[in-house]
Amino acid sequence: MEKTILEINNISKSFGSYKAIDNVTFKLQKGDIYGLIGSNGAGKTTIMRLITQLSPLKVGRIKLFDKKINQQALRHIGAVIETPASFDKLTVQQNLKLIALQRGINDTKRISEVVEFVGLQEKLTTKAKNLSLGQRQRLGLGIAILPDPDLLILDEPINGLDPSGIIEFRKLLEKLNQEKQVTILISSHILTELYQVSTKFGFIYKGQLIKEITKSDLDKANQSGLILTVTDVAKAAQVIDTNFNDKFSVLDEQRILVHSLNIDSSKLNEKLIRNGVSVISLAKEEKSLEDYYTKLIGGAEND
């Protein structure tokens, strides 16, 4: 059975007369990597600040492990939100020691474990202010995971990372998620990356959660696959049906969409030709999270 880790119920937040968060409800199940998507000022950071009590919640409820969130419950959350989590003048090791002290972690091995996990072994004695941006992000992640949290909240964690840094960061998150079953709430404007890492998405628009979708439903909605343009669509459909297990849809009198990017296209081409169907073109149709987002937000703006 799915276990709910975080439950956000009808939360709202206003700054003066400005409603930054408007009646938002969503859940994170154990093992989810939930990607929060929205334009600048949509409300993503505010939601994360409300969860972690950096901003007081006055309207709505937030529960962690089915209990109202409080200081005790916050111990199960590791977060990197906005500002760097580290102290500039302290070294990597000192920063981690300080957090260990604050969190009552006596196990010295835990610090080495975390340092190794985030790949900062060679920077132990470097002051945080002298770390590169990517190394600083890693230190932030190290600080967040030091207490072994069940839930990790990361606001724009890959901002400013170079391409290989992004890939490594993704691998770290996947490792935490798969090996330690850490549930993750993450925001990013780099949608290609967020798509790769997340299992579910929540779209925030002007303080409201306008859509939630799992990755597999997103793929279906995006109709990714192979588009075949052929001379005889009926015959082609018959050939695909008898020779392949993949689902397909006839789009019009010339085109068929095979709902799979893994189909062996040369074999498909060969079968069609052998059955007398001329293939005019074969093209991969890969709509992205970005396409979905643009359409969704475009729709919301026209409402």
Among 41, 160, 276, 299, binds ligand ATP (CB under 6 A): 41
Whole-number Å distance between alpha carbons of 32 and 44: 17
Q: At 46, list the tokens.
A: 């505010």
Neighbour-count burial for 180-215, b at 16+ CB within 10 Å, e otherwise:
eebbbbbbbeebebbbbbbbbbbbbbbbbbbbebeb
User: Radius of gyration over alpha carbons of the chain, in Å?
Assistant: 24
Q: Does 42 bind ligand ATP (CB under 6 A)?
A: yes
Strand partners, 200: 34, 214
Whole-number Å distance between alpha carbons of 150 and 103: 15
Neighbour-count burial for 26-52, b at 16+ CB within 10 Å, e otherwise:
bbbbbebbbbbbbeeebbbbbbbbbbb
Q: Which residue has the tokens 């993750």?
A: 184
Cα 20 off chain centre by: 22
Per-residue H/E/C for 253-297: CCEEEECCCCCCHHHHHHHHHHCCCCEEEEEEECCCHHHHHHHHH
Q: Does 46 bind ligand ATP (CB under 6 A)?
A: yes
User: What letter represents residue 45's amino acid?
Assistant: T
Among 24, 35, 38, 138, binds ligand ATP (CB under 6 A): 38
3-state secondary structure of 105: coil
For ligand ATP, which stretch binds (CB under 6 A), given 24-32, 37-45, 178-186, 253-261? 37-45
Nearer to ligand ATP, 97 or 206 (CB): 206
Q: Does 15 bind ligand ATP (CB under 6 A)?
A: yes
For ligand ATP, which stretch binds (CB under 6 A), given 44-52, 65-73, 252-260, 289-297? 44-52
Nearer to ligand ATP, 161 or 272 (CB): 161
Closest approach of ligand ATP to the CB of residue 60, in Å: 15
Closest approach of ligand ATP to the CB of residue 83, in Å: 12
Q: Does 198 bind ligand ATP (CB under 6 A)?
A: no
Q: Does 218 bind ligand ATP (CB under 6 A)?
A: no
Closest approach of ligand ATP to the CB of residue 35, in Å: 13
Asked if 288 and 191 count as a contact pair (C-beta separation under 8 A), the reply is yes
Nearer to ligand ATP, 50 or 131 (CB): 50
Among 6, 8, 20, 256, binds ligand ATP (CB under 6 A): 20
Instruction: Estimate the share of the chain in helix, then strand, then coil, as percent rounded to the nearest 5.
Output: 40, 30, 30
What does the chain come to in residues? 303
Among 7, 44, 78, 145, binds ligand ATP (CB under 6 A): 44
Q: Does 142 bind ligand ATP (CB under 6 A)?
A: no
Among 45, 91, 183, 188, binds ligand ATP (CB under 6 A): 45
Question: Directed axis angle between helix 215-222 and helix 289-302, to 10°?
Answer: 80
Closest approach of ligand ATP to the CB of residue 34, in Å: 15
Nearer to ligand ATP, 41 or 160 (CB): 41
Among 17, 40, 71, 106, binds ligand ATP (CB under 6 A): 40
Instruction: Count the residues of the shown chain that bind ligand ATP, applying the rule CB under 6 A.
Output: 10
Q: Does 17 bind ligand ATP (CB under 6 A)?
A: no
Contacts with ligand ATP by CB under 6 A lie at 15, 20, 38, 40-46
